[in-house]
A and B are shown apart, each in its own frame.
Chain A
Amino acid sequence: MSDMRQLYQEVILDHNRKPRNWGAIADANRHAEGHNPLCGDHIKLSMNVLNDKIDAIAFEGHGCAICKASSSMMTSAVKGKTVREAEMMVEEFRGMTTGTLNPETRENHLGRLKVFAGVKDLPSRVKCAILPWHTLHAALTSVVSVSTEGEADPIPGSEIGGQ
């Protein structure tokens, strides 16, 4: 990818500048930390899951624009979704950024998140975009600390929706 405007679209730059759902949920019943030690991306995700629905979600931390925007847009996208729906989006987002799901030709629930499709051409940046999703998966399945370092496809196995 040589046109950087394709990746660094205005939506991404905007979410980087003004991340939505920034902070921590005080009485969270789910939380997880995601860390890419090599590039220094580090996010803390907290949520309240009530009646199987993500009732509240927030994140904080530091990282590159791709990681921050991805976290911000993810929190907006999964708020109000059921655990099952959120896990399906984890799967779809991972598919899109690792090149196994073409969001233009296959049905999906990614909507605005499709702005991240371009990272699949930048193997060294895929992990930045996926980190919040990996962290979300960890929070939903109660693994407290995760890392996507060094892995193009950081979520081992693919039976994510089943857990």
Chain B
Amino acid sequence: MSIAGKNIDSIRADFPILNLQVSGKPLVYLDNAASSQMPQQVIDRIVRYQKAEHSNIHRAVHYLSELATREFEEARVKVQHFLKAKESREIIFTRGTTEAINLVMHGYGRSFIGKGDEIILSGLEHHANIVPWQMLAEEKGAVIRVIPMNDQGELLIAEFEALFNEKTKFLALTHVSNALGTINPVKEMVAFAHSKGVPVLLDGAQAAPHQAIDVQDLDCDFYAFSGHKMCGPTGIGVLYGKAQLLEKMQPFMGGGDMILSVTFEKTSYNVIPAKFEAGTPPIMAAIALGTAIDYLNGIGLDNIAACEHELLAYATKRVSAIPGVRIIGTAAKKAAVLSFEIDGVHPHDVGTILNADGIAIRTGHHCAQPVMQRFHVPATARASFAFYNTEEEIDKLVEGIRKVQEMFS
């Protein structure tokens, strides 16, 4: 196997953790939708920063502070290009997707959504894109409306369109479902929402690592993602927002860096993006995210998407051929997520038994309990693939599933 002309072994060699032995077996890491692994290039960047570049940013005239500030702002430009945003000031660094969504809820929602207004979410959302909106709805007396899905896990577009009325004030929608892998037709959905004058936030946590994103083409108003799901570190994420929206929003947190001047009578806020980055940000993590983006660009997001698509097709074929196994989430357009159920075996037992063979999958409700309720299961087992996975690893997963069935027969 190869990606972009590079042998898969040389790609795997970039990821030191893939050499690990777990329970005396080579690690088979199939939990990439929860968090992906980090290549040596990103690890080296972190070490270099901490050894020779670290200082606080935006605050001093000394060498290190200027260096760290430059690298931090360069990372912002890398994210801008990664998302094809118009301007780098439209990129706000956050702790992750969750904080990015909460920022929009506080900064936009609390000013522009009021009593009786309606917020549309989809039935596929991660709790991170449900709970903040419920908190807002409770505070304001707003109403949450939910886009339903079919048995394949695809959103019902006619029902979606029918949800809109003059009270609809916001649409918050996942680009790719973390529980089922469904890729939503977000460009068309954004266009429809805009035709009704409704702004849209896309949760890109599962999309950004796996396909090229163009926020201007999608025309979404906000886009959120997390660094740790795309070969970067934890503690860093991104909120993209259209400049004219960010400018009219209220700050999320107050503190240093987000102000122009402070007196006890009045504080005036800084311009974007600083207005939304109160306090010392995760400088090292932001710079490392920039390097992770370089790494992914080096392989090519289109190549990554194609490679993962092949892995998913292979895994779907192999796993669905096992009697007594049901795949949950069979949308026509899917990212490399395989949720499944084994007859008569609870997902947690599946996870524990696979772990004994070094195979890491996720079991549970994947922070998407409404999806579980829709499919009438308490939990699923989920294997999720990255470009550094191989067909041999999928063969091991299949062997592991058979072993589970044998044990429980």
**What is A's interface to B at a CB cutoff of 8 Å?**
1-5, 7-8, 13, 16, 38-40, 42, 62-66, 122, 124-125, 128
Contacts and interface: CB of A to CB of B under 8 A. Distances in A.
Interface stretch (B75-83, B206-214, B344-352): B344-352
Interface residues of B, number: 19
Contact of B346 (A1, A5, A64): A64
Given A39-B348, A39-B379, A4 B356 contact: yes
Q: Is the interface of B mostly helix, strand, loop or mixed?
A: mixed
Nearest 7 A/B pairs, CB to CB: A40-B378, A64-B346, A2-B23, A64-B348, A4-B356, A40-B379, A65-B349
Contact of B353 (A8, A38, A40, A128): A8
B356 A66 contact: no
B407 interface: yes
Nearest to A128: B348
A124 B345 CA distance: 17
Which of the listed residues B24, B352, B356 has the most CB atoms from chain A within 10 Å of its own CB? B352
Contacts, number: 49
Contacts of B235: none
12 contacts: A3-B356, A5-B407, A7-B352, A8-B349, A8-B353, A39-B378, A39-B379, A64-B346, A64-B347, A65-B408, A66-B348, A125-B348
Given A8-B407, A38-B364, A38-B365, A63 B352 contact: no
A4 B378 contact: no
B386 to A, nearest CB: 23
A1 B22 CA distance: 11
Interface string B359-380: 0000111000000100000110
B346 A65 contact: yes
A138 B79 CA distance: 52
A2 B378 contact: no
Contacts of B372: 40
Contacts of A65: 345-346, 349, 408
Contacts of A42: 378
A4 B352 contact: yes
Interface in B175-218: none
Contact of A13 (B348, B363, B364, B407): B407
B68 to A, nearest CB: 37
Nearest to A8: B407
Which of A2, A13, A125, A128 has the largest count of B CB atoms less than 10 A from its CB?
A: A2
Contacts of B345: 65
Contacts of A3: 356
B11 to A, nearest CB: 29
A62 B378 contact: yes
A66 B98 CA distance: 33
A2 B408 CA distance: 17
Contacts of A40: 346, 364-365, 372, 378-379
A3 B356 CA distance: 7
Nearest to B25: A2
Nearest to B354: A4
B365 A64 contact: no
Contacts of A4: 352-353, 356, 407
Given A2-B356, A13-B407, 5 more contacts: A40-B372, A64-B347, A65-B408, A66-B349, A125-B348
Nearest to A63: B346
B363 to A, nearest CB: 8
A64 B363 CA distance: 11
A122 B364 contact: no
Interface in B18-42: 23-25
Nearest to A65: B349
Contacts of A8: 349, 353, 407
Nearest to B369: A37
A63 B378 CA distance: 9
A2 B349 contact: no
Contacts of A5: 407
Contacts of B24: 2
Contacts of A39: 348, 363-364, 378-379
A154 B25 CA distance: 32
A122 B363 CA distance: 15
A138 B365 CA distance: 26
Interface string B332-350: 0000000000000111110
A163 B137 CA distance: 43
A66 B345 CA distance: 11
A1 to B, nearest CB: 7
Contacts of B23: 2
Nearest to B351: A124
Given A38-B365, A40-B378, A63-B346, A13 B356 contact: no
